[in-house]
Structure 1
Amino acid sequence: MRFTLSSTALSSRLQSLSRVINSKNSLPILDCFLFEVRNNQLSITASDSENVIQSAIGLDTCEGEGEFAVPNRTILDAVKELPEQPLTFNVDINKFTVEVVYQNGIYHFTAQNAGEYPHTQAIPDGATVITIDSGVLSDNISRSLFATAQNELRPVMNGVYFDLTADGLAIVASDGQKLVRNRNFNIKSDTPASFILPKKPATLLKNVLGRDGGDVVIKFDDRNAEVRFADGVLSCRLIEGRFPNYNKVIPTDNPNQLVIDRKVLLSALRRVLPFASESSLLVRFHLEMGNLEISSEDIDFATSAKENITCDYTGQPMNIGFKGSSLTEILSNLDSEEVTISLGDPSRAGIIVPVTQPENCDVLMLIMPMLLND
């Protein structure tokens, strides 16, 4: 079997697929990429047994068809330093030998038997299907990932929750201290359905999805999901269990409203945060009409910082504390120039929303306050 393809196309595709491969695998064959040549296309598969991602590249020339497995480090290291040029693969399927010819040289290495590579189970008929724009899905996942938990006792919090209802599709993540809810009003279903996508496949999707439009089709049942996008397909095991009622923890009557430039607030937080206590990372807000004072201190090391920002604030004068690192993450994962922060009292969760929402979407972030020792 012989085929030719672009070196940069192969290298970039291998780099994105390699993220699924674990450093230590239960099956030695999972250290490999599976190469399948069919219909003038090269299909590449990578897996860690729970997550499988597959992508296809068009071939310039092709003689013969077949499949073989290639050690991931061997092929990655071989092609990543090559400038753009055609690569010619000569493969002997019977002897498992691979020869890669490039402009100034040649590689020889041994392939593995593709028959040992595990194959994924297809999602059965009758599964729920969601169709969503690839850019929208990528943005929603990117906005949500930072809020997922790492909680062995409550694994349902360790992923991104997709909640399909008659009102729309909500994509949610929370670690109990902060919460992100993305609502898309274009995608609805009279039959409610939901699933929890683990962090690893969510991160893989974030890295492979294009922002240039095109539909992504998500097919899922109680245990597995299959995500088809322009360049390939991702199959993964889902987190089983019931996600908490996220709407119940979002206050609807926070009367104190702060409208502020997101980047100005983010910069001020980054200047003040290094002076906060390392154990708590507590940052104090003092709010009054037209002014926000941000302060932090570490009594043990006798350090403190304070900064005033002009803002649009309507409400009662208030002192409230937040974990500075969580607030920084929230502001970093919003795009709007200005944000509205809605507050109730120093013990109630604060709501942060972009002043300019994405089209047909509603983005909301929540942060729990920290106790102030006045």
Structure 2
Amino acid sequence: MIFVTTPSIVLEHLKNLSPILSTNKANPLLEGFLFEIKDELLQITAYSEDLRVQTAIHVNLASEEKNNFSSGFVINGKKIIEILQSLPEQPLSFMLLPDEMSIKLKTAQGEYKISVFDGDQYPAMSPDTEFLGTFNINSEILKTGLERTTYAASDDIELRPNLCGVYCQFMENESIFVATDTHRLIEYTRSDSRPETNVSFILPKKNIPVISKIIDKYDDAVEINFAKGYILAKIAEYTIFSKLAAGEFPRYKDIMPKNYDKTLIVDRNAIISSIRRVKVFSTLENNKILLEINGSDLKISAVNEEYNESAIEHLTCTYEGNKFSIAFNANGLIEQLQNLSGDEVIFEMTEPNKAAVIKPAQENPGEKTISLLMPILSY
């Protein structure tokens, strides 16, 4: 069998799937893509233990010979991407040679024979089980929700697997995305979403970059089918199978501050820039900076006693409350502020040893963001 396509079309899809491939030399099957021909569709699958993605490309069949790779063939991912990247745009023929367990790529300039594996040993796309339900969500809402929150998820897969992902809640009239590593928390809500369902799950942090990259390319709605332990999402020509993080997400609403007596409003970009400069003079151990607020003056400072170095900057702010000081890890505060929108941010605080609520002063209609950041207890 021979089918014809172009290098750029195949390469675009392979690059979207390539982060999934294993680097474990013990199983070369998982270092490769599964190619299957179904009528005039080339289906390409990439597999890992927790994430599997399949896409489809229309191709032209140049031969009516029987496809003896009935279960498809597996081709080394690194090798096929390297070849396609070096080819100029032109017709590209794939000739299947099952008797030799290989394929031959042919262009106007040359031909390239590559060994392959039979696809019958490649893992299945998804378990054979019934779904508990299905709903649709706008791709922009899903992508934004994941982008705004993923950074705050934990990386401690051994001790906190239930925090190593984004907690997604889809309800009749809104969608909520939450992540925390116990030192920081962010909740992003979209009330302009209408999933018309009632389901929640934890999407693993390590799967989110691949999922976000795919859905970013389309304006279509994402169809999400959910079952116990995994979801199956569909958008355009992509089908995405993702396992879900184990355990239950904590009752984070219980730790959200209910009352506060100090409110600070400051320009978001100005405070980020100031912290970046001042933190150069903090100790490497914890990058500690101190915020001191008195009336309309916000003082940002850092001290490195070991080298007798220090820095102080002042910003104009709007503040309600008594004179107040609170210390943060500079890198953590910058990351929190970078993942908020708008020109100004609001800090709501109570005590120097309690979490501060940080949120945008203005947001787009239908959006609501609340973040928490724990302070450093001593300075």
In the superposition, the TM-score normalised over structure 2's length comes to 0.92
Q: Which amino acid aligns with 2:358?
A: I
What are the within-5 Å matches in structure 2 for residues 216-255 of structure 1?
Answer: 216-255=222-261
Checking the alignment, whether the CA contact within 8 Å between 1:123 and 1:224 is kept in structure 2 is no
Moved more, 250-259 or 187-196: 187-196
Alignment RMSD: 2.1
Identity rate, percent: 27
Q: Following TM superposition, by how much is the alpha carbon of 1:233 offset from its aligned partner in structure 2, in angstroms?
A: 1.3
The structural deviation recorded for 1:41 is 1.9
Long gaps (5+) in structure 1: none
Letter in 2 for 1:12: E
Give me the whole-angstrom Cα distance separating, in 1, the residues matched to 2:25 and 2:247. Answer: 26
Residue equivalent to 2:4? 4
1-structure distance, mates of 2:344, 2:128? 43
Matches within 5 A, 1:1-374: 1-24=1-24, 27-60=27-60, 63-64=63-64, 67-122=72-127, 124-151=129-156, 152-165=158-171, 168-187=174-193, 192-210=198-216, 212-373=218-379
Whether contact under 8 Å (1:49, 1:118) holds in the other structure is no
3-state DSSP of counterpart to 1:329: helix
1:33 deviates by: 0.2
CA distance in 1, matches of 2:334, 2:135: 32
Report the count of equivalent residues.
373
Q: C-alpha separation between the residues in 2 aligned to 1:150 and 1:367?
A: 17
Deviation digits for residues 106-135 of structure 1 (CA, Å, limit 9, x no counterpart) = 211111101111103346335133321112
The structural deviation recorded for 1:198 is 1.0
Does the CA contact (< 8 Å) of 2:187 and 2:370 recur in 1? yes
Uncovered stretches (5+) of structure 2, i.e. residues with no partner: none
1:185 CA drift (Å): 2.1
How many Å apart are 1:62 and its aligned residue? Answer: 5.1
1:358 and 1:44, CA in 2 relative to 1: closer, same or farther beyond 3 A?
farther
Post-superposition offset of 1:17: 0.4
User: 1:51–1:355: structure 2 CA closer, same or farther, 3 Å change rule?
Assistant: same
Could you report, residue by residue, the CA deviation over 1:285-316 in whole angstroms, capped at 9, with x for unpaired residues? 01122221111111122221111111222222
Greater shift after overlay, 253-262 or 300-309?
Answer: 253-262
Please list the CA deviations of residues 41-87 of structure 1 after superposition, one character each: whole Å capped at 9, or x if unmatched. 21110011331111122225554555211111110111123333332
Q: Is the 8 A contact 1:225 1:235 kept in 2?
A: yes
Structure 1 length-normalised TM: 0.93
Deviation at 1:227, TM superposition (A): 1.5
- Structure 1 residue identity aligned to 2:121: E
Deviation at 1:5, TM superposition (A): 1.7
In structure 2, relative to structure 1, the CA distance for the partners of 1:212 and 1:114 (3 Å cut) is closer
